[in-house]
Structure 1
Amino acid sequence: MSDNPIPQVDDRTAIVTGASAGLGEALAERLAASGWNLVLTARGEERLARVALRLGARYLAGDVTDPDHREALVALAGGRIDLLVNNASTLGEVPLPTLAEADLSVWPRLFDVNVRAPIALAQLALPILRERGGAIVNITSDAATGPYATWGPYGSTKAALDQLSNVLAAEEPAVAVWALDPGEMATGMLADAVGEADAAEADPPAKAAEAIVSIVGARWCRCVRTAPDSGRYTARDHAIVHEETRA
């Protein structure tokens, strides 16, 4: 863990999707440590409940593609949303297929989870986010920009989310919109994609979570550090910037 201080935030509320494991859980942990009030969601209620209890967070299990669930999630925040973290996503077919062999019938669900749901949730939260000068974090991937074999379907959804983040930032100047690429992480999702042995060699999600929460917290903290403008950033590059700043 880096010794870069994480900016503390007072009386702010964040919604985090996909919060029961991996990066979502790590982000929830870092946000809680920074003083955020949390509203967490994921599909698996048992594990989500354990995370929420440990962090003192409110939670609602459900599918982010379900309009009723999204509305209930925003309502659970009680009119106080300062941060929306769209982290929930799916790989689609596993093992990952080449484009020549991809099952296109899987794509509607893939795009529903990875593209439509984040924007639909943003639409519901935007009136509150505008009023409170809030922020949206859309978790993206290097698969959105690199020509990685078998990552075409998943990567195309993240590329779409990148562009929608760009446009949303231009349309909503009062709200920070960050597409944040955490890099390769030792998560269950990566293990499903590349195998457990290769996934175990990646960095833990806590490392990316620390960098992401540092970006987010700088928007509200009373500190020298300033949050970057809306745009696409990688957790690794942000960590390097911090090291250079400290040198």
Structure 2
Amino acid sequence: MRTPVAIVTGAGQGFGLALTAALAAAGTTVIACGRDADRLRTATASLPGVLAVPADVTDPDARAALVDAARSAGGLDLLVHNAGELGPSPLPPLARYPLGALRAVLETTVLAPLALTQLALPLLRAAAAPTVVTLSSDAAVEAYPGWGGYGLAKAALDQLAAVLGVEEPALRVYAFDPGDMRTAMHQRAFPGEDISDRPEPAMVVPALLELLTDRPDSGRYTSASSRS
């Protein structure tokens, strides 16, 4: 039986790293992607079955390298779009949101996942139980002041996942909302504030692993694995 293969973007820290560690511990070969090469290699060096591929998902050559790595590993069963971009910090209102910064948020959060998915689809379609996961946020469905840029990008990513799930019925496509977590990105959203009450990413990973194991219908799910 072939060892499962996954691509996880944004795997150098936070939720992406915690998920990579959990998948590797379960016997999955993980192609871990991150922009900071040193941080990615250091974070994953002790994880068995993890291939660190330093890459910026907005780079077409980097996306091709990730898919080539999966092909060399024997295929692709799971594609996790965890990489994202918060935007400016402190979070600006839409009336003053820099359009150049918004383009960067959309490029990383929406366009790059679509482009990577397009490249990976032939491998996913050939897998026995292919799955695509996009990382969502409550900012995609709630109106929070200052979260307009990030929220609209996550809302677009939710719609991408929803349509992909309809167009590719052989795949399971999940928009997974992990909730607030104690991550560097979340700290940037609340500069100077104490976010120690938020759960560590490793505490949220089991909810996604449960979703991957149960394989319910494609859709949007929260960290409690409930359909929303």
Q: What TM-score bracket applies, with the shorter chain setting the length? A: over 0.9
Q: Give 5+ residue unaligned stretches, structure 2.
A: none
Question: Structure 1 residue 102: deviation in Å?
Answer: 0.9
Amino acid at match of 1:139: L
Question: Structure 1 residue 10: deviation in Å?
Answer: 6.8
Identity over aligned pairs, percent = 44
Residue 27 of structure 2 is aligned with which of 9, 31, 35? 35
TM-score with structure 1 length normalisation? 0.87
Partner of 1:122: 117
1:57-206 to structure 2, matched below 5 A, reads 57-77=50-70, 78=72, 79-132=74-127, 133-195=129-191, 197-206=193-202
In 1: Cα distance, 2:104 partner to 2:131 partner: 26
Partner of 1:50: 42
Question: Structure 1 residue 91: deviation in Å?
Answer: 0.6
Question: Structure 1 residue 195: deviation in Å?
Answer: 3.0
CA contact (8 A) 1:43 1:61 kept: yes
Q: Give 5+ residue unaligned stretches, structure 1.
A: 1-8, 219-225, 241-247
CA contact (8 A) 1:10 1:35 kept: no
Amino acid at match of 1:162: D
Amino acid at match of 2:64: E
Question: Structure 1 residue 124: deviation in Å?
Answer: 0.7
Q: Secondary structure at the match of 1:211?
A: helix
- In the comparison of the two structures, how many residue pairs are matched? 223
Question: Structure 1 residue 62: deviation in Å?
Answer: 1.6
TM-score with structure 2 length normalisation? 0.94
Q: Deviations over 1:150-192 (max 9, x none)?
A: 0010000000000011100000011110000000000000000
Q: Secondary structure at the match of 2:6?
A: strand
Question: Structure 1 residue 80: deviation in Å?
Answer: 0.9
CA contact (8 A) 1:166 1:231 kept: yes
In 2: Cα distance, 1:10 partner to 1:145 partner: 39
